[in-house]
């Protein structure tokens, strides 16, 4: 097995032989050489111990099992893994016995278009067949040319300053109020905010280092961030500083009240010091929805933050970096859906051009 450093990350690679042909397997191993070697040995062992010979894969079920064993279980986060397993278990039940030699684009076009969420089936099946191509089991992806309806664009109600004031007066937990204000003023994902520790805060330079996210399915477990650009450092203002002070006071009270308080260093933790699950806020979220008469979601706070930055003249690159978007096109989509407030500023500018 070999290792190499590229940028800030270490990679491992090793050789495997499929049908007598040499193939190099390379993956991200971690941030240190030691971590890359450890993870590389684990992956290499998985490949060596795999009893499935690719040339023996005959049915869809065979391919799905191989994909789960050699890709999903090795390289995907727990939260992502859970979603994919849900879909592939359905696919196995429905078409698992179909011979691989019998499937083609027409077969999957008919299968996928019968689904209520065809785009997810298309995405996950395409990923599996791309894996099969890399393993030299097939030469063409039968999903590539399938046409599915465009997914409906997610509609967000922007959260106004007045909405935040209303929320602050509601009969809900203080930590929920603090979390909502924090998301509104930082644009972080809720999973990132709930994963923040005091060690991530630099009060001297007024910065927050976003390094992890909570696992959405398992308490007290953390995931790597969504993309490499999600790992970022952002500035915070005096209002956020006050929120941090509120959290410190409440944590000190909880430590004195509860003998079983578990000191996890988390900023947003439950009464025992453990991580929150996002679902722990559902009851209050629905209460806020009813009070505001809006489609209130935690992601709407992130979308609102991005919109406010753009409306107030913050350039796209700075907005992209603050939000941790991997691709600036994601930021551009928000830019093209800004509110009427921004559109109305065009006319006064035009009126002044020839004065």
Where helices occur in the chain by DSSP H, the ranges are 33-49, 60-67, 73-75, 78-95, 105-113, 118-134, 161-169, 174-186, 190-193, 238-257, 282-292, 298-311, 316-323, 328-335, 340-343, 346-353
161-343 topology per CATH: hpI Integrase; Chain A (1.10.443)
The rounded percent of the chain whose pLDDT value lies above 90 is: 51
Say how many Å lie between the first and final Cα of the chain, rounded: 71
In the prediction, which pLDDT does 1 show? 77
Which sequence spans correspond to the domains of the chain?
2-134, 161-343
Q: How many CB atoms lie within 10 A of CB 177?
A: 18
pLDDT of residue 286: 95
| pLDDT for the residue 342 | 64
- Reply yes or no on whether the pLDDT at 340 is more than 80: no
Banded pLDDT at 281 (limits 50, 70, 90): very high
Q: pLDDT tens digits for 215-262? A: 887 888 888 887 778 899 999 999 999 999 999 999 998 888 877 777
At 24, list the tokens: 């190099």
The reported pTM is 0.64
Structure confidence at residue 54 (pLDDT): 47
Across the range 144-173, mean pLDDT stands at: 89
Q: What is the pLDDT of residues 299-312, one digit of tens each?
A: 999 999 998 898 88
- pLDDT score for 186: 96
Rg of the chain over Cα atoms, rounded to whole angstroms, equals: 24
Partnered with residue 9 across adjacent β-strands are 6
The average confidence (pLDDT) of the chain is 87
Percent of the chain residues past pLDDT 70, beyond the cut = 89
Question: How many C-beta atoms surround the C-beta of residue 301 within 10 A?
Answer: 28
């Amino acid at each position: 097995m070999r290792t190499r450093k590229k940028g800030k990350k270490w990679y491992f690679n090793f050789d495997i032989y499929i049908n007598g042909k040499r193939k190099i397997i390379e993956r991200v191993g971690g941030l240190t050489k030691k971590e890359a070697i450890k993870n590389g040995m684990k992956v290499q062992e998985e490949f060596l111990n795999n009893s499935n010979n690719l040339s023996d894969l005959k049915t869809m079920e065979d391919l799905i099992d191989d994909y789960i064993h050699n890709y999903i279980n090795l390289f995907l986060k727990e939260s992502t893994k859970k979603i994919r397993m849900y879909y592939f278990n359905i696919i196995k039940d429905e078409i698992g016995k179909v011979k691989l030699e019998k499937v083609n684009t027409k077969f999957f076009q008919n299968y996928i278009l019968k689904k209520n969420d065809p785009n997810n089936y298309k995405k996950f099946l395409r990923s599996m067949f791309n894996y099969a191509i890399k393993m030299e089991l097939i030469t063409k992806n039968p999903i590539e040319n399938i046409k599915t309806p465009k997914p409906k664009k997610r509609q967000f109600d922007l959260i106004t300053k007045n909405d935040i004031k209303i929320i602050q007066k509601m009969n809900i937990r203080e930590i929920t109020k603090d979390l909502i204000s924090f998301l509104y003023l930082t644009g972080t994902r809720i999973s990132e905010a709930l994963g923040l520790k005091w060690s991530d805060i630099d009060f001297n330079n007024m910065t927050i280092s976003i390094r992890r996210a909570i696992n959405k399915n398992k308490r007290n477990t953390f995931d790597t961030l969504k993309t490499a650009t999600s790992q970022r450092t952002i500035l915070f203002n005096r209002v956020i500083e006050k929120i941090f002070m509120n959290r410190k006071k409440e944590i000190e009270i909880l430590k004195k009240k509860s003998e079983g308080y578990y000191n996890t260093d988390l900023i947003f933790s439950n009464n025992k010091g453990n991580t929150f699950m996002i679902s722990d806020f559902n009851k209050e979220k629905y209460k806020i929805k009813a009070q505001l008469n809006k489609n209130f979601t935690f992601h709407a706070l992130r979308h609102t933050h991005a919109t406010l930055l753009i409306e107030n003249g913050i350039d796209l690159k700075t907005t992209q970096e603050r939000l941790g978007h991997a691709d600036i096109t994601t930021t551009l989509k928000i830019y093209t859906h800004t509110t009427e407030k921004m559109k109305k500023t065009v006319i006064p500018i035009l009126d002044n051009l020839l004065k």
